[in-house]
Amino acid sequence: MTSHSTGHSTPRSTVRSTVRSTPRSTVRTRVDAAAALLGPRARRDEPLAPLTTYRVGGRAALFVEAASIEDLHRVALAKASTGLPVLAIGRGSNLLVADSGFPGIVVSLAELAGEFEIGSADRAGRVVVTAGGGVALPVLARRTASASVTGFEWAVGVPGSVGGAVRMNAGGHGSDMAAALIDVDVFDLDRAIEVEQGALRRIDATDLGLRFRGSDLTDDQLVVGVRLGLHRGDREASERQIAEIVRWRREHQPGGQNCGSVFVNPVPHEVTAGGLIDGLGLRGLRIGTAWVSEKHANFIQASDGGSAADVRAVMEAVRDRVAAATGFVMRSEVRLVGFETGRATEISDETSAPQMSGPDE
């Protein structure tokens, strides 16, 4: 990647479930050491279910709401010193946390990177929008539209954060992050230990390896901020477009506890995951407290107070049946957090950003 240092963004990785084979006494010792390094901003045994759209799963050993770059340096030090895994969480719309929880450090950037600024249009009508990695996509979509800025309307239906959207090039309704992204400010947890002053870097969008629902960002690279190149537009037209997207979503997608589309389309714009699942009559397939939505075949619902293990079991069953019947091995958009290695590692083989299904999904 070509990068530029900056005075001052969650990341691509293979979505392997976190290994939980470390003895509990060793984990507790590491957690104690990390808590001491993190200071008063760290909270122990923090429930993660309320921070995800599935609203199931266990607790984080440690939870940190980063309020400054210095807080991220403390997280980097704690990670390097204890070996605990780190998970950056945004809106939690693509996470399934194991019922046993996450035995590491969960970091929220909402406080540090929750602001945005809409610039003035230049002579060509281009508008640069600066946004923190913790900004909610629907909020940014509505605020840019109300400012007569066009090009981000599609994001109103994606229940995620800017940082997560960059990491996996989220998209829907004919567009994606790559269409507008100029560059990103990234805090590298590993680099923070090696080169303290160079931990925060500005990386050009062309150097991120952006592709369909993916990028080259790693788990240790936290998206702190982005710059988007949008355009001067017509407020009423943008707000009509947003209203139509919201209408379509309510008509075609279920509410309740889910993470949106579960599986990536095997052949974008040609073979859809929802179509394959629906073709096998799997709507309504239930295992325990989780089931395939009757309204949209590529959504898996969870009951209030349900089990993450049941959600994973439905994912496995659907994936296996589609593979056996069609030959398509579907990749999940859901990041599995805290699960034992094994079958879980086969379900989703790389992290995904929150995505709202478009009309062809």
Task: Just list the catalytic residues.
Answer: 213, 261, 333
Separation of alpha carbons 123 and 130, rounded Å: 19
**Count of Cβ atoms closer than 10 Å to residue 304 Cβ:** 9
Helices (H), the chain: 24-38, 69-82, 137-146, 162-167, 189-194, 235-252, 273-279, 308-326, 343-347
Vertex 332: Cα angle to 321 and 328 (nearest 5): 40
Phi, psi of 294 (to 5 degrees): -75, -20
Query: Token pair for residue 213?
Result: 């629902």
The terminus-to-terminus CA distance of the chain in angstroms comes to: 32
Decide if 291 contacts 301 (C-beta within 8 A): yes
Cβ neighbours for 135, distance < 8 A, ≥ 6 positions apart: 113, 114, 115, 116, 161, 162
Separation of alpha carbons 227 and 60, rounded Å: 31
Separation of alpha carbons 114 and 291, rounded Å: 34
Output b/e per residue, 91-122; b: 16+ Cβ within 10 A.
Answer: bbbbbbbbbbbbbbbbbbbbebbbebebbebe
**Count of Cβ atoms closer than 10 Å to residue 357 Cβ:** 23
User: Before 11, cis peptide (omega within 30)?
Assistant: yes
Separation of alpha carbons 315 and 296, rounded Å: 14
**Signed CA dihedral, 318, 347, 107, 13: sign only:** negative
Phi, psi of 127 (to 5 degrees): -125, 125
